[in-house]
Amino acid sequence: MIQMEASISGSSSPTHPKWRKVVYGGMQPGFGDNHTDESFLEEMIMNANVVKRDLLKVVLDAVSISQYLCIVALVVLVWTYTLTNTLTEKYLLLLNVSLLGSGFFILLLTADMIPFNLLLNYLLKNTFFITALYMLSPIYHTLTRSISSNSIWALTASLLILHLFLHNYSGSTVKAPGALDNPTLTSNISLNASIVASLLISSRLPSRLHVFAIVLFSLQVFLFAPLVTYCVKKRSFKLHICFSLQLLVLTLVFTYQLHKLLFIVLLGIFVFVNLVCPYWLIRIQEYKFEINGPWDEAKLCFNITE
């Protein structure tokens, strides 16, 4: 009798409403705001967007970093040889002319159909830039005369480290022909740091012609070398690798002639950048853990496969 009454009372009680997943609309009657059931995690997916990277591809991608490290190292070598009077102003001017001519020649060969108006615009801007630089060289020569040389070396080294840290290794310092995106803020800060470092070094040179030659050389490299290497890489990746290897050998040879300890340090940096760092990146991919499910997620605003 008691069991019959219990069954009658249980059947007469209202049924409990079933929980359903509601993204918007507030709480459901009879359930808390943080309530979930066993069906909530049925749509969970693990490691859906994890990119499997190949060691060889990562090593080849790291060549761009080593390439620019070689460029900056060669600039520092030219600065050193100029400060020790190994390179005279005549050789520096000849080097500037050869770099400017070869840069435009490579740009014409690698860039896709540069309009004549754009090329003429480049030539006019370079002419005005070189003229203004020659007129301002007396000011640069005496710009930091009241500052000690030790402070100049420390500031130059700090600015070069900042330049390397903020440099855009996958793009160009200036806008390449046909490119849609402009240089980023960090890239502009990196460029400004290299220009200030060049001016600091030039203020320790003996003559105004030295100042004009070394500043022109530095600005040509820091401004147009990333543009040239970017166009070479876009044109042919094999040519980019060959050019980078030749630049690496040239940098190591000149560094070895200057100082053996610097050669060992620079060689260790190249090994670390091109071999150790890619190996670490591949190793830490094993520990990447990503969860996707029926909840709001932050979406990436760029293509992760690039």
Contacts of 65 (CB under 8 A, 6+ apart): 169, 273, 274
Cα 44–chain centre separation: 35
pLDDT category of residue 217 using cuts at 50, 70 and 90:
very high
User: Which range has highest mean pLDDT (2-6, 122-126, 130-134, 292-296)?
Assistant: 130-134
User: What residues contact 99, with CB distance under 8 A and at least 6 apart?
Assistant: 217, 220, 221
Residue 248 corresponds to which amino acid?
L
**pLDDT tens for each residue of 76-99:** 999 999 888 888 888 899 998 898
Q: Which of 160, 158, 157, 185 is nearest to 171 (CA)?
A: 185
Axis-axis angle for helices 89-110, 63-83 (nearest 10) = 160
- By CB atoms closer than 10 A (0-12, 13-18, 19+), residue 125 is exposed
Q: What's the Rg (C-alpha) of the chain?
A: 30
Q: For position 16, what pLDDT does the model report? A: 59
Residue 10 has pLDDT above 60, yes or no: no
User: Per-domain residue ranges for the chain?
Assistant: 55-287
